[in-house]
Amino acid sequence: MKLLAAALVALALWALGWVTPGAAVLVFLLGLVALWLGGWAPAALLFCFVAASNLFGRPTRRNAGQVLANGLPAVLGLALSPEFFLGALAAAAADTLASEIGARAPWAWRPDRGRVQSGTNAAVSPWGSLALVLTALAVAAFAPLLGARAVPVFVGGVVGAVADTLIGLLFEERYPRFSNDHTNALATLIGGLTAHLLR
């Protein structure tokens, strides 16, 4: 049953054009691990994350690197605690929606440049910041469903998403081989660890 469910979700995401074929395979595998470690609730939340990223942001096909960076730390974190999983997921979701919604803001601010055009890498905007906080709150609201505490999840989500901006600022533009996927993976890991340690 779980094998079929993971396969159907992966196929649905690919059919909707939300993930590439390679990413769909990873969605299937990560879904299986989530079902095995945490049951139906974590797997359903992973699907909601992918759906929200596409429904509230610019329509785009997530590739394998993006799926791994945003999903692997969260799924493996289930082996430690539900707070780790939700904190990592909150960080990934908060950063994604902050970036997507912040890109529509009239302006943004970057620490080393001041006021810049919205959508600039490592820049923050009022709209994006509000989306970050609200998304972390939304994920934290699901904490009781997994037997987790909401406050550590919320804090982990905010810390991880803010870390994403700082890591991008410090590393992405200085080191060509350091990609946005590396930034996302580290930020998601930081979000999960923060929530796990505060639980």
The pLDDT assigned to 112 comes to 80
The pLDDT assigned to 136 comes to 97
Q: Indicate the domain borders of the chain.
A: 45-198
The pLDDT assigned to 3 comes to 86
CB 65 within 8 A of CB 181: yes
How many residues are recorded in the chain?
199
Block mean pLDDT (10 aa), the chain, length 199: 88 92 94 92 90 77 92 95 98 92 86 84 87 96 96 98 92 88 96 97
Tokens 């779980």 belong to residue:
2
The pLDDT assigned to 176 comes to 84
C-alpha span between 177 and 198 (Å, rounded): 33
The pLDDT assigned to 103 comes to 84
Nearest residue to 156 via CA among 140, 180, 134, 138: 140
CA atoms within 13 A on the CB side of 141: 6
Nearest residue to 67 via CA among 16, 112, 111, 29: 29
The pLDDT assigned to 135 comes to 96
